[in-house]
Amino acid sequence: MKIATIIVRVLIGLLLLFASISFFFKLAPEPETTGNFKAFNMGLVASTYLLPLAKTIEFLCGIAFVSGRYVTLANILILPITVNILFINYFLAPEGLPIAGLLFLANLFLIYRYWDNYRSLFKA
């Protein structure tokens, strides 16, 4: 199980690093969006801070996952972002749902594996 944890952690980290670095350096062309997803994406871009903030958190969590340091903190920081990625893909862009679902499930798996570190948060 330890090897599976390392593999999942590194794969999530690489995915997050790729997504954030390609956003900041414009390495990949923006996919063509239509309909409600286009309107939603335009709103994110118009906010001027929300998308760069999310991508910065993705970058920092990607580094944490790949390096194996601060993984407990990175799991909690990236969870709301993975939930939003899942919901955005479920409601607005279903073609990206498999990757979003795998990212979310991998995040839950890592939370499960590091559960001893979170145990004290749930004690009265």
Decide if pLDDT at 48 tops 90. Answer: yes
pLDDT mean over 66-76: 96
H helices within the chain, ranges in order?
2-25, 35-46, 50-67, 71-91, 97-113, 115-118
Chain segment 4-47, per-residue pLDDT in tens: 999 999 999 999 999 999 999 999 888 888 889 999 999 998 99
Amino acid sitting at position 101: G
The predicted pLDDT at position 99 comes to 95
- What is the torsional sign of CA 66, 84, 75, 110? negative
Q: What pTM was computed for the model?
A: 0.91
Average pLDDT of every residue of the chain:
94
**Distances in Å between the alpha carbon of 38 and those of 49, 73, 89, 92?**
18, 32, 12, 9
Number of domains in the chain: 1
Range of the domain at 70: 2-122
